[in-house]
Structure 1
Amino acid sequence: MTSETTVSIGGTPAKRDYYWLRSFVAGGVAGCCAKTTIAPLDRVKILLQAQSPHYKHLGVFSTLKAVPQKEGFLGLYKGNGAMMVRIFPYGAIQFMAFDNYKKLLSKHIGISGHIHRLVAGSMAGMTAVICTYPLDVIRARLAFQVTGHHRYTGIANAFHTVYLKEGGVLGFYKGLTPTLIGMAPYAGLSFFTFGTLKSLGLKHFPELLGRPSSDNPDVLILKPHVNLLCGGIAGAIAQTISYPLDVARRRMQLGTVLPDSEKCTEPVVCRDR
């Protein structure tokens, strides 16, 4: 909040409404930019996690080279349309929920400090996942398809097919259990690590790493490149810890698309061929 005068509408400061909107849009745009940047690696991850018969004999870099040769350059971005539809509300909900859970925990429960960020981050991540999970399932199905072996023609067709052939609405929530189990440490550790790095950086190296906020010159925030570095470190640590559950989630999401789908109906039996 800045020191500017705000106009109250129905008892709610107009500036607060603007802050919510800005947080929502910023979270969504940030998510879209980040996911589009890493979309080729993300598709390779899905292909290798689920052992696509077309690429399972290859490594990461070999697959990155083989996909454009087999499916064209845009093959690296297969499923990215569904990801963009999902990631904007996901990122926006997560950012908004994180801010609100922090306030809730601080005001009503009295939690603060590192535990504050860890719990709020976990709750925000799980909230965003539950709200957008069907789109994540569809995105995984589309990204796993290989040119010439398509099962779905697009996002709408994938929704229609899964709904009709895989149990209606419940078909869109396959793999939700390992996702939520993994989301708690992933989102929690991500926000926790980022917040800790930010606090330490601004405390010990304020002139080198920080700059005045455009909203309030008296408040220091991280410089853009430092913010990016801290976010990358936080995400890498969180992803590494929760990765085994991510593999189980992907294989369950793909369901009947997999040749060995009967082995991936529950997290405890999702195993290699």
Structure 2
Amino acid sequence: MSDSGGRKTLIHLSSGCVAGTVASSLTSPLDVVKTRMQTSSCGVFTSTAPRPTAVAVPSLSMVLPRPLSLLRNIVRSEGFSALYKGLGPTLVGIAPARAIYFASYSNLKLLCNSHACPNTWKVHLLSALGAGLIVSTSTSPIWVVKTRLQVHQGSGTSRQTAAGCARELYADNGLRSFYRGLTASYAGVCETAFYFVMYEHLKKRKRLQNGSEDSDLSASQLIQCTVMAKSVAAVMAYPHEVVRTRLRIEVGKNRKYRKFFQTLFVVWKEERAAGLYGGLSAHLCRVVPNTAIMFLVYEHAVRWLGAE
């Protein structure tokens, strides 16, 4: 790798690290609420009208608390600091995760551009898919620990620590425990890939509206591109988030959730759409501003450091 190429990679690594840290710190409370709502433990099952069958059997539907209501309940029962459960592993993991992602995406895009028509949607798609797979595999243990900390409802001296959580996971099934939900993370790569394709397309349109493909976009234009692309991608791929959370939180040999499609089927069978889309509102309230902040910081950091 040339000095110029190495410098650009370092700039993308640093920019991604800073962007991810800032965004995750600001939106941590909503991340905790979303994760709680993705588990069936915070919902209430209520009877509904029996279906017209030979034997009328009342069915159950799941009623999830509203995000603000759950937020108040967490603060009331566990204290304000509970809204930042899992932030430690997040800050440990988000810096390398975002750094690896942005650097991988940038380098894969350069590689694809040299072998195909530059900056097409195919180039953006392949680059995003490759970067997503690399990050999901390399950082899985951190996110498994983070998820388990967020759903643990202890407070004070009974609050679980990251080290204690890691020991519990290792005692359960060794290193394999740290990769639970990895298949769901791989499925989630499709969301990221779709987001990047749409994001790059929207940026290109905005630049053309400004008069040139090489024109700089304003902060408001970058935010518009991010919000539109992330909102659509998040809604389309949301069920994989629920499946991933369910796979991560259980321990023991008699686990209810074992594999991606098996978990997807069980959640749909027992909870229907309420289960598969539990926490979507909190997810959107978190992930859209999170992504907007992250990409705004990233784009300006890259521009300021002179990689573009």
Q: Report TM bin, short chain.
A: 0.7 to 0.9
> Who is 1:102 aligned against?
109
Of 120, 127, 137, the residue aligned with 1:130 is 137
- What does the per-residue CA deviation read over 1:23-82, in whole Å, with 9 as the maximum and x for residues that have no partner? 001111111111222211111111010123489752212112221112222211111111
Deviation at 1:157?
2.1
Task: Give the whole-Å Cα distance in 2 for the aligned partners of 1:245 and 1:88.
Answer: 23
Q: Given residue 197 of structure 1, which amino acid in structure 2 is its aligned partner?
A: L
Q: d(CA) in 1 for partners of 2:157 and 2:262? A: 27
2:217 aligned to which of 199, 203, 222: 222
Aligned length: 248
State how far apart, in whole Å, the 2-side matches of 1:150 and 1:106 are: 54
Contact 2:37 2:43 in 1 (8 A): no
Q: Secondary structure at the match of 1:250?
A: helix
Correspondences of 1:140-179 after superposition (within 5 Å): 140-148=147-155, 153-165=160-172, 167-179=173-185
Residue of 62, 83, 94 corresponding to 1:76: 83
In structure 2, what residue type is equivalent to 1:118?
Answer: L
* Superposition deviation, residue 243 in structure 1: 0.7
- Going from structure 1 to structure 2, the CA distance change for 1:147 and 1:197 (only over 3 Å counts) comes to same
1:255 and 1:265 in contact (8 A); partners too: no
Question: Higher mean Cα deviation, 194-203 or 155-164?
Answer: 155-164
CA distance in 2, matches of 1:40, 1:54: 19
Q: Could you tell me how far 1:205 is from its partner in structure 2? A: 3.0
More displaced stretch, 107-116 vs 27-36: 107-116
TM-score, with normalisation over the residues of structure 1? 0.82
Question: How do 1:18-29 and structure 2 match up within 5 A?
Answer: 18-29=7-18
Match of residue 180 from structure 1: 186
Matched residue SS, 2:250: helix
- Which of 184, 192, 196 aligns to 2:197? It is 192
Alignment RMSD: 2.6
Q: Deviations over 1:117-173 (max 9, x none)?
A: 1121111111111110110100000111113498773222222221122x1111111
User: Aligned partner of 2:262: which letter?
Assistant: V
Amino acid in the other structure paired with 2:259: E
SS of structure 1 residue aligned to 2:41: coil
Q: Quote the Cα distance in structure 2 between the aligned partners of 1:150 and 1:111.
A: 56
Q: Whose relative contact order is higher, 1 or 2, with alpha carbons under 8 Å and at least 6 apart?
A: 2
**Does residue 263 of the first structure (1) align with residue 269 of the second (2)?**
no
Distance (whole Å) between structure 1 residues aligned to residue 80 and residue 119 of structure 2: 47
What are the within-5 Å matches in structure 2 for residues 107-126 of structure 1? 107-108=114-115, 112-126=119-133
1:214 is matched with which residue?
A: none
Q: Which runs of 5+ in 2 are unaligned?
A: 45-62, 271-308
Are the equivalent residues in 2 in contact too, given 1:118–1:189 (CA < 8 A)? yes
Aligned residue for 1:213?
Answer: none
**CA–CA separation in structure 2 for the residues paired with 1:43 and 1:30:** 20
Following TM superposition, by how much is the alpha carbon of 1:16 offset from its aligned partner in structure 2, in angstroms? 2.7
What residue identity is the alignment partner of 1:228? I
Q: Distance in 1 between matches of 2:21 and 2:227?
A: 15
Find the counterpart in structure 2 of residue 6 from structure 1: none
Counterpart residue number, 2:66:
59
1:49 alignment counterpart: 38
The farther-off stretch of 98-107 and 41-50 is 98-107
* 1:5-36 deviation digits (Å, cap 9, x = unpaired): xxxxxxx5433322111100111111111122
Once the two structures are TM-superposed, the CA of residue 94 in structure 1 deviates from its matched residue by 0.7
Are the structure 2 counterparts of residues 71 and 116 from structure 1 closer, same or farther at C-alpha, using a change threshold of 3 Å? same
